[in-house]
Structure 1
Amino acid sequence: MSLRNRLTLFFTTIVSVALALFCLLLYLVAERYRETEFQNRLRAEALTAGHLLVGRERIGPSLYKLMDKNQLTVLPDEEIIIYNGKNQLAYESGTDYLTLTEAMLSQIRKKKQVNWKKGDRQIVGLLFIDDQIPFVIIASAVDTYNLRTIQNFAKLLGLGWFLMTGLMVVAGRLFAGRTLQPISQINRQIDDITALNLSHRLPEGDQADELAQLAHRFNRMLNRLEDAFRLQRLFVSHASHELRTPLTAITGQLEVSLLADDDPDELRATIRSVLDDVRGLNRMTNGLLALTNASMDSSTVPMGTVHIDTLFEQIRQEFQRLHPDYTLQISLADVTKTHWQVLGNESLLRTAFVNLLDNAGKFSDNHSVSVSLLSEVASVQVKVHNTGSVIPADQLTAIFVPFQRGRNAGGQPGYGIGLPLTERIIQIHKGTIEVESSTESGTTFTVTLPH
């Protein structure tokens, strides 16, 4: 079932049920009013009969029957019955519609007035006292005219409900069509968007309704997709270039070695050079693989409690083993062990911090790196500082783009993968990374991770 038909059905059902309840309420109120009004007329008839038949200024039963027979306001199928204090029949109109028991008479004497129904006949029994003699007067009749009127009223309500329900079907379908028209336009415009024209955007309009919000969010998604496609093309372009360079060098060296004489020293030198290129190619491939893995869904990364102070102690030992000529100084604030805890992946954090330390040592004049760990109220802060070549101010953000390296990186080995990988890992841990670089204070990377 289409959304338009579902909305029409939903709208019609709600209105029809509400209208049916309203019609039922009208019918019940009208029926209750008719019944109460007829009971009041029966009570008036009973009191009139009591005053005329057993009251102080009474008339004879024959005259009363004659008056009752010729009275224009007499009720349909009316019957009047009067019992004296000894439950003996004092008067009966003669129609003989009712049969009363002593229990019913006792109930009327006790409650002074009782109303009940027997089929379509409504009955009122009341206690009438004259000269301290208690009489029981029962008046009954059939409200033929008003019953027929209320039945016609019920038919009119049913017909009106049926017609209004049909009208609601038509109105609901038109309303659903007008409501869903912008969605149909959005669908047509979405069909026109392909990978070749991701710059196309949906019109958001001037309104602030849900459809405008939908178009706005879809445009934001297109912005992210366009950025992803652009970065992918840029990534493939740079990766191809970076991979082609060492492969070209390896190919050239091997071709030269084939043309060279069988000098073992030259062959060993060529093999050694090719091996360095292969190792560099392997490092770059591993970096690309790590960057790709870190760019995947962060919800799939296993997280646990990581002690930053313990992690840096392990990194120090590994770093000094890999770079014995580097100097690494780590200063920790004097706080309890729990203040260094963060929620994260120890392996990824180790990769991120090793990249920062390796960059800092590589670009430092004396290969000296200083690290300070600070524990704040809601986060742990890691500052990695070195004094060396300064990163130009206009490239402080570009260094986090894959394969983009600062102008100060000339002559230093690297492929522009480490810092983008580090930034992505910090983002996975809901942290931030900032960089400051100046001639006076050197270069400082600041990583902030929430507890």
Structure 2
Amino acid sequence: MSLQNRLTLLSTAIVSVLLALFCLFLYLVAEQYRKKEFLNRLRAEAITAGHLLVGREKLGPTLYKLIDKNQLTVLPQEEIIIYNANNQLIYESGTDYLTVTPKILSQVRELKTTQWRNKNREVVGILFREGTAPFVIFASAVDTYGVRTMENLARLLGGGWFLMTGIMLVAGRYFMGRILEPISRINHRIDEITASNLSLRLPEGENADELTQLAQRFNRMLNRLEEAFQLQRSFVSHASHELRTPLTAITGQLEVSLLADDEPDELRATLRSVLDDVRGLNRMSNGLLALASASMDSSAVPMGPVQIDALLEKVQQDVQRLQPDYTVHLHIDVGNMAPTDWQLTGSEPLLRTAFFNLLDNGGKFSTNHTVTVTLSTLGKSVEIRVHNTGSVIPADQLSAIFVPFQRGRNASGLPGYGIGLPLTDRIVRLHRGQLQVESSDESGTTFRVSLPR
């Protein structure tokens, strides 16, 4: 069963039950009112009969029967019965609809008034006192008009209930269709979205309701998927290109060495060149693996406490050990900071890779291979500034250097594959931080890393 039909049936059932309860309530209230009014009329008839038959100003039974017979307000099948103080029948209106037992007489004398129903007849008994002797008067009749009115009301309420249920069913299906129409449009558009046209987006609508919020979240998810697909295509394209160049060079050198009858020194030179290319391929492969690892969700990366000042000291030692001609100056703004204030939550191997790339990159592009690292606090974050005075990054390429395999014009002639800075940027974003760069002829190039403590 479709969602539209289920919602229609559910809403119709709820309204139908509530309407049925309301109709039943109306019927019960009307029935109580009918019964109360009819009993009040019977009680009034009994009191009137008492005044006229056994009161101080009596009428004869024959005259009373004549008046009662020709009275316009007489009740259907009305009967009046009067007993004296000795429980002797002294008056009966002539019909024999009601049978009175001594038990009932005693009950009336005790309670002063009583009422009950005998089949379809309503009966009222009262203790009448006018003078010294108490009389027991019974008045009974059939509420033909009231019962017929209640039957008509029941038929009217029942018919109205059926009619309103049918209208609710039709109207509910129409309005549920209108409400769920955006879902149909969303389903149709989702069927159109494939890997070849990820630029399509779901219709969001004009109202800020739950369906619009759902469409907006789907569109944000599609934005992330499209970005991931484009990144994957770019990654594969650039990686293939970058890998093809050294592989072609290695293949060419080996083919030439096999065809030529080179001297041992020339063969050693060829092998050294091939070894350099292989080492370059190894570095590129490691960079690609690290880039793929940094692209994972933060929940999939093991995190733990990282002492950022100690980590920078280790990275400083690594850079100077691997690049002996590089000079790294590390300044830690200690101030009133406690050792625990330099601690943050993150992945130490990934952060170590990011800082190593920044320091290695700063030493590579510096004219004197000198890089200055400053560690300080900034509110609830720690800030690492990596500065060098080398070739300036063009302003139009400041954002492009964080795209994989994209290198600035100032990197011409220097070794590299355009992987280090994109990898560093992803590691920083993985730790909910920010990486910014400033470059000018006057102040040189400064990379600013901000990480939450």
State the TM-score, normalized to the length of structure 1: 0.87
Match of 2:14 in 1: 14
Q: How does 1:153-232 map to 2 (within 5 A)?
A: 153-202=153-202, 215-232=215-232
CA distance in 1: counterparts of 2:100 and 2:378, whole angstroms: 95
Q: Share of identical aligned residues, percent?
A: 70
CA distance in 1: counterparts of 2:415 and 2:56, whole angstroms: 130
Indicate conservation of the 8 Å contact 2:105/2:136, yes or no: no
Equivalent residue of 2:152, what SS?
Answer: helix
Equivalent residue of 2:25, what SS?
Answer: helix
Match of 2:355 in 1: 353
The residue type equivalent to 1:387 in the other structure is T
The alpha-carbon distance between structure 1 residues 292 and 87, as it changes in their structure 2 partners (threshold 3 A), is: farther
**CA displacement at 1:449 relative to structure 2:** 1.8
Residue 330 in structure 1 maps to residue 325 in structure 2: no
CA distance in 1: counterparts of 2:218 and 2:359, whole angstroms: 41
CA distance in 1: counterparts of 2:36 and 2:339, whole angstroms: 84
The alpha-carbon distance between structure 1 residues 447 and 138, as it changes in their structure 2 partners (threshold 3 A), is: farther
The alpha-carbon distance between structure 1 residues 371 and 135, as it changes in their structure 2 partners (threshold 3 A), is: farther
CA distance in 1: counterparts of 2:269 and 2:85, whole angstroms: 140
The alpha-carbon distance between structure 1 residues 146 and 317, as it changes in their structure 2 partners (threshold 3 A), is: same
The alpha-carbon distance between structure 1 residues 326 and 81, as it changes in their structure 2 partners (threshold 3 A), is: farther
Q: How does 1:217-256 map to 2 (within 5 A)?
A: 217-256=217-256
Residue 29 in structure 1 maps to residue 32 in structure 2: no
Which of residues 402, 411, 417 is equivalent to 1:400?
Answer: 402
**CA displacement at 1:241 relative to structure 2:** 0.8
Indicate conservation of the 8 Å contact 1:253/1:270, yes or no: yes
The alpha-carbon distance between structure 1 residues 402 and 68, as it changes in their structure 2 partners (threshold 3 A), is: same
CA distance in 2: counterparts of 1:404 and 1:161, whole angstroms: 74
**CA displacement at 1:345 relative to structure 2:** 2.2
After superposition, give the CA deviation of every residue in 1:264-293 in whole Å (9 maximum; x if it has no partner). Answer: 322222222212211211111121122122
Equivalent residue of 2:445, what SS?
Answer: strand
Indicate conservation of the 8 Å contact 1:79/1:97, yes or no: no
The residue type equivalent to 1:401 in the other structure is V
The residue type equivalent to 1:104 in the other structure is Q
Match of 2:312 in 1: 312
CA distance in 1: counterparts of 2:178 and 2:90, whole angstroms: 76
CA distance in 2: counterparts of 1:403 and 1:107, whole angstroms: 108
Equivalent residue of 1:249, what SS?
Answer: helix
**CA displacement at 1:102 relative to structure 2:** 6.8
CA distance in 1: counterparts of 2:208 and 2:360, whole angstroms: 51
CA distance in 1: counterparts of 2:90 and 2:386, whole angstroms: 117
Q: How many residues align?
A: 448
Indicate conservation of the 8 Å contact 2:428/2:435, yes or no: yes
The alpha-carbon distance between structure 1 residues 332 and 74, as it changes in their structure 2 partners (threshold 3 A), is: same
CA distance in 2: counterparts of 1:294 and 1:217, whole angstroms: 24
Indicate conservation of the 8 Å contact 1:117/1:123, yes or no: yes
Deviates more, 1:309-318 or 1:410-419: 309-318
The residue type equivalent to 1:381 in the other structure is E
Is there any run of 5+ residues in structure 1 with no aligned partner, and where? none
Which of residues 350, 367, 370 is equivalent to 1:368?
Answer: 370
Match of 2:382 in 1: 380
Deviates more, 1:313-322 or 1:26-35: 313-322
Indicate conservation of the 8 Å contact 2:204/2:212, yes or no: yes
**CA displacement at 1:80 relative to structure 2:** 4.2
**CA displacement at 1:95 relative to structure 2:** 3.7
Residue 261 in structure 1 maps to residue 264 in structure 2: no
Deviates more, 1:352-361 or 1:68-77: 68-77
**CA displacement at 1:91 relative to structure 2:** 5.5
Which of residues 388, 410, 413 is equivalent to 2:412?
Answer: 410
CA distance in 1: counterparts of 2:53 and 2:23, whole angstroms: 44
Q: How does 1:2-151 map to 2 (within 5 A)?
A: 2-61=2-61, 63-65=63-65, 67-80=67-80, 95-99=97-101, 100-101=103-104, 104-105=107-108, 108-109=111-112, 116-117=116-117, 120-126=120-126, 128-131=128-131, 137-151=137-151
**CA displacement at 1:364 relative to structure 2:** 2.1
Indicate conservation of the 8 Å contact 1:391/1:406, yes or no: yes
Equivalent residue of 1:333, what SS?
Answer: coil
CA distance in 2: counterparts of 1:408 and 1:397, whole angstroms: 14
**CA displacement at 1:127 relative to structure 2:** 5.1
**CA displacement at 1:25 relative to structure 2:** 2.6
Equivalent residue of 1:288, what SS?
Answer: helix
Indicate conservation of the 8 Å contact 1:363/1:388, yes or no: yes
The alpha-carbon distance between structure 1 residues 405 and 149, as it changes in their structure 2 partners (threshold 3 A), is: same
The alpha-carbon distance between structure 1 residues 284 and 134, as it changes in their structure 2 partners (threshold 3 A), is: farther
CA distance in 2: counterparts of 1:305 and 1:184, whole angstroms: 49
CA distance in 2: counterparts of 1:406 and 1:388, whole angstroms: 13
Indicate conservation of the 8 Å contact 1:390/1:438, yes or no: yes
The residue type equivalent to 1:49 in the other structure is A
CA distance in 1: counterparts of 2:127 and 2:404, whole angstroms: 103
Equivalent residue of 2:151, what SS?
Answer: helix
CA distance in 1: counterparts of 2:423 and 2:370, whole angstroms: 23
Is there any run of 5+ residues in structure 2 with no aligned partner, and where? none
The residue type equivalent to 2:14 in the other structure is I
Deviates more, 1:426-435 or 1:77-86: 77-86
The residue type equivalent to 2:451 in the other structure is L
Indicate conservation of the 8 Å contact 2:76/2:144, yes or no: yes
Indicate conservation of the 8 Å contact 1:108/1:136, yes or no: no
Indicate conservation of the 8 Å contact 1:108/1:125, yes or no: no
CA distance in 2: counterparts of 1:107 and 1:309, whole angstroms: 101
CA distance in 1: counterparts of 2:85 and 2:430, whole angstroms: 98
The residue type equivalent to 2:363 in the other structure is G
The alpha-carbon distance between structure 1 residues 411 and 106, as it changes in their structure 2 partners (threshold 3 A), is: farther
Equivalent residue of 1:296, what SS?
Answer: coil
The alpha-carbon distance between structure 1 residues 23 and 257, as it changes in their structure 2 partners (threshold 3 A), is: same
**CA displacement at 1:101 relative to structure 2:** 4.2
Equivalent residue of 2:253, what SS?
Answer: helix
Indicate conservation of the 8 Å contact 1:56/1:130, yes or no: yes
